[in-house]
Amino acid sequence: MDCEPIAVLSDIHGNVRALDTVLAEIARRGIRRVVNLGDCLYGPFDPRPAAERLMALAAPTVSGNEDRILVGTDSASRTAATALSKVARFTRARLEPRHLAWLGSLPLTSIDGDALLCHGTPTDDTVYLLSRVSAGALAMRSGGDIDALLGSVAQRLVFCGHDHTPRLAVRGEKLIVNPGSVGCPAYVDDVPEDHVVENGCADARFAIVWPGAGPTPTAELVAVRYDAEAGAAEALENGFSDWAGWIATGRAEERAKKGGAA
């Protein structure tokens, strides 16, 4: 099993159109092993279809910071708390108790074979592992910073998300994989300071990892097209014009708007 390829998903944000397209591509490639790095449902869509897909998939899944917001266990300090609660209220109002119970059951980290799963870093789901904020955008962290955030992690594979940015890093014999976001290719945020994340196109992202390929595992960062315009239209109809722009274009040009920060 540990030699089987792994499909790594993260930051779905309730976007079932993107999720279904990614799952279809995973099936087309014959991949049976899937993991999910959290921020599953928080977003401007009806979250129930995505919740049903993920619960039925029963893949190893960790909680993201915005999963914790939905189940009321988030204690992170944000200056945009009121604006964030607009998205949280919208999402939570549409979820059934069993969906919330599933979110509440997710661990903050998990070990799957020789892989450590986390949303942000192994100790903090609100901190980017591979990225840092620089001049209002994201830049790659230095190797030393990554090593410090990894701490004593023993696994050869570390899967992380949170910043929606596809990245790979090799640290010694470790391969660190951020698959990017399935459902939200751009956003603005003010934690740890004001910044923009832009992947530049609307594609859904995931990663494929081959644990047993050579002395160091290997990975492919995958982008697939889906009906992002329909997703953007749903977000707009639900009152989230900022998210609609992010989803349709993969860009976050309206930097002052933090109403839907992801």
pLDDT tens per residue across span 71-90: 985 544 343 444 457 899 99
Residue 134: pLDDT band by 50, 70, 90 thresholds?
Answer: very high
**3-state class percentages of the chain: helix first, strand second, coil last, to nearest 5:** 30, 25, 45
The overall average pLDDT reported for the chain is: 91
Architecture of the 6-249 domain = 4-Layer Sandwich (3.60)
220 or 253, which is more confident: 220
Task: Check: CB of residue 163 under 8 Å from CB of residue 138.
Answer: yes
Query: In the predicted model, what is the mean pLDDT of residues 200-227?
Result: 92
Name the nearest CA neighbour of 59 among 33, 97, 24: 33
The first and second tokens of residue 105, run together, are 């059951």
Residue 51: pLDDT band by 50, 70, 90 thresholds?
Answer: very high
Number of other CB atoms surrounding residue 155 within 10 Å? 17
Through-space distance between the first and last CA atoms of the chain, rounded to whole angstroms: 34
Q: What is the pLDDT of residue 214?
A: 64
Mind listing the pLDDT tens digit for each residue in 149-161?
A: 999 999 999 999 9
Residue 149 CB contacts under 8 Å (≥ 6 apart), including other chains: 121, 122, 123, 127, 129, 141
